[in-house]
Amino acid sequence: MNTDVLGQPSGHFGEFHHRSVFSSGEVTEHTWELIRAFVTRVERQDIRMRFGAQINLRDEPTLRRFFGITGAGEISWVLDREGSIAGISHRVRSSRSDAEIALLVRSDLKRRGAGTRMLQELIATSCREKLTTLHAVVLRENKDVIRLAAKAGFIPKGGGGLSMKLELPLTGERCTCRGKALKTLVTNATP
């Protein structure tokens, strides 16, 4: 089994390595150091696209509030070849059968497959856990994420104002077929 820079199990996906999931209480100070280094490489516009507002992630309390894990939430990430965080994903169970997800990719690595790798893992993990639906709320102007989500099978489910809701049903054959769709999604990722 592969391990990451923290000695934790990981999976290798081409250029990026996936980090196993962190749950509440598992984030160490070393983990926070890696997250701090990650946010220094994320441009303000990308932070705004992810969180829907211009926030200062270099402020420690703000960083811990937005990347901390509480209750039914968890984070995971992909690492680049140097062992730095390339992207971070959040998944929060909203019910026994549903979860809401969100992704943030380092600005210098956008359109290179990190978001696709994270989304693939989020879907696969949710299928293994027998969830029935994944949800995401994105800014309407975030065309990159909307396009990525559409390739994975997410469909628009409304929303108002500046944001829209996306939904991915994971029931029946859709979950078993998802691997094929995501393999195509990964293959077509722009290097």
The DSSP output letter for 108 is G
Structural domains counted in the chain? 1
Count of alpha carbons within 13 Å of 7, Cβ hemisphere only?
A: 2
Handedness of CA 19, 22, 27, 28 (dihedral sign): negative
Q: Is 48 inside any structural domain?
A: yes
pLDDT at 8: 37
Cross-strand pairs, 105 = 87
Cβ 185 vs Cβ 120: under 8 Å? yes
188 within domain boundaries: no
Instruction: Compute the Cα dihedral for 156, 149, 123, 101 and give only its sign.
Output: negative
**Is position 104 within any domain?**
yes
Per-position pLDDT tens, the chain of length 191: 443 333 333 444 456 666 655 665 666 788 889 899 999 999 999 999 899 888 999 898 888 888 877 666 888 888 888 888 999 999 999 899 999 999 999 999 998 888 998 898 899 889 988 999 999 999 999 999 999 999 999 999 987 789 999 999 997 555 654 444 444 343 333 33
The answer to the question of residue 187 being in a domain is no
Residue 186 inside a domain? The answer is no
How far, in Å, CA of 185 to CA of 79, rounded? 19
**Domain CATH number, residue 85:** 3.40.630.30
Rounded to two decimals, the pTM is 0.78
Tracing tokens 């250029």 back to the chain, one arrives at 15
Residue 24 lies in a domain: yes
* Segments forming the whole domain that contains residue 156: 2-181
Residue-level pLDDT at 26? 65
Longest dimension (CA), the chain: 46
pLDDT at position 73 is 80
Query: Euclidean distance between the first and final Cα of the chain, in Å?
Result: 26
Rounded Cα–Cα distance for residues 132 and 55 (Å): 33
Q: Write the single-letter amino acid at 101.
A: I
* Residue 25 within any structural domain of the chain: yes
Which is nearest to 22 in space by CA: 14, 13, 32? 32
Cα 140 from Cα 146, distance rounded (Å): 8
| CA distance linking residue 102 with residue 51, whole number of Å | 9
Q: Does any domain span residue 133?
A: yes
132-146: b (≥16 Cβ within 10 Å) or e: bbbbbebbeebeebb
